[in-house]
Structure 1
């Protein structure tokens, strides 16, 4: 079965999508429509901006979404049998499988980015990548700390990102290093994504999601919050709302997709991060990537 996966924040790069815009009339039309919807020319920043320009939250999330979704729409043989996306990438997956239309997907991503930015500004917070420990050890240490600190991204076996207050993350990194972590590295992010500190953003996004039309998808989406295949539009909505304060279960998603018959994982959008993570879940998994326009 053909599985398509879509990357999240951090995969952006200067010049992203320019080849699509210049070579595909379909892509040009969608990028122009995106500029109208967003109320600013995101294409100028994507095609000509610097890495710093692309780091602005209001730009990063829509830029990655647009690159992934428009790329999928230019593929001649795009017939997904299962889809999944990492965090932000779940919105790309939901447009790819027909749950959301392009315009609504972009509006929600833009609202999500702005709501997350506001939540980050309310309380200084951060994230850290923990490498080389069992998930259970990381979970126990997080639970033992009185500050807000929780597992946020189960990326692959031996790699778990934690999220929380700055004091909580500092304490957790210290304790996890003592427990034998190969690395406990704070990440250059704006806040504690996928933690209780995103509750204000979750509430704001919930209203937008509830008022958006979701259709029955062409194929199941394996959602971040439970790593299970979902096709019911109302359940997809509930899981998408829960996603902002819940961990991304990517390891479990890849395992479940493989167990359900995925024979090829194709990553659509910038970067190759998800291909690498899937290989760490199962070295025998077949992966491919599409990051540029293919004539």
Structure 2
């Protein structure tokens, strides 16, 4: 019986996030203030009382979700994970939780990641769509028929829920084709660009330099990384997987399946929201899920 800790990604943000932590814990308050100093603006003020529009700014969203997750984890000292994983952005939170990255270093990488992704989105207008009610293999088959536009599988969230990513024209074509193939829904998402697709290559190149220069430690427990859903404990491999993450799909379904195969029976989501708890239940109905925020 092993306890896995999971960390959410972009989209989990909400106005008021982290405020109770800041007001109720001196260590949390100090970490939020350190983050404000490192980022050069008071992200805590936006998290606690900002509008939805302010929270949607890429330079705010990614560090905000990271901070909520990591500070909740660091201020709950009894947490002892046997394994960790994070969904997309959440992988950076997971790396702090398992000791592979220091809080300050991870925050700076998250900030650089957000800026690089925003720039890539502006260079190549693009989008994503959620596909519901169709097997992964069928989605992949349909996407393979679209050869004149960029469109790929981006997030394998759970059985029957796969997010695709690509050019605006590619996503439009794919949605029509997927509906014709039997998808219950193929819904274009309100996102800034084609995350986890080849269109993020400029961001990957930019982030690679920052990751390569950052010091990573050997983690205290395995981290199941998005690019291939496998467990890693070696710093050099973790770095390379993190570099590849921006243009590769998030294999969340496979990650949870592999964690269960390796003995995980309890999953705790740390951070804003409870999306990952719901996905775990759809992937493995017998799992015990809890949340800390």
TM-score for the superposition, normalised by structure 2: 0.99
Q: What pairs with 1:159-238 in structure 2 (closer than 5 Å)?
A: 159-238=161-240
Structure 1 gap ranges (5+)? none
CA RMSD across the alignment: 0.5
Aligned match of 1:114: 115
Matched, 1:288 2:290: yes
Listed one character per residue, the Cα deviations across residues 119-168 of structure 1 (whole Å, up to 9, x for unaligned) are 00001100000000011111011111020000000000011000000000
Report the equivalent of 1:82.
83
Residues of 2 paired with 1:76 and 1:249: CA distance?
A: 29
In the TM superposition, 1:1-295 aligns within 5 A as: 1-146=2-147, 147-291=149-293
**Which whole-Å CA distance do the structure 2 matches of 1:175 and 1:76 have between them?**
49
In 2, the alpha carbon distance for the partners of 1:44 and 1:283 equals 38
- Partners of 1:129 and 1:62 lie apart in 2 by 24
In structure 2, distance between residues paired with 1:262 and 1:75: 21
Q: How far does the alpha carbon of each residue in 1:160-198 deviate from its partner, in whole angstroms, 9 at most, with x for none? A: 000000000000000000011001000000000000000
Cα distance in 1 between the residues matched to 2:79 and 2:290: 14
Q: Distance in 2 between matches of 1:171 and 1:214?
A: 42
Q: In structure 1, how many angstroms separate the alpha carbons of the residues matched to 2:137 and 2:261?
A: 23
Q: SS in structure 1 opposite 2:269?
A: strand
Structure 2: how far apart are the matches of 1:89 and 1:148? Answer: 25
| Secondary structure, counterpart of 2:165 in structure 1 | strand
Distance in 2 (alpha carbons) for counterparts of 1:158 and 1:143: 18
Whole-angstrom CA distance in 1 between matches of 2:213 and 2:19 = 33
Distance between the aligned counterparts of 2:44 and 2:223, measured in 1?
Answer: 28
Moved over 2 A (4+): none
Residue aligned with 1:263, SS: strand
Q: Distance in 2 between matches of 1:281 and 1:43?
A: 34
Report SS of the residue matched to 2:4.
strand
Mapped to 2, the partners of 1:209 and 1:218 lie a distance apart of 20
**How far, CA to CA, are the matches of 1:19 and 1:276 in structure 2?**
24
Count of paired positions: 291
1:76 Cα deviation after fit: 3.1
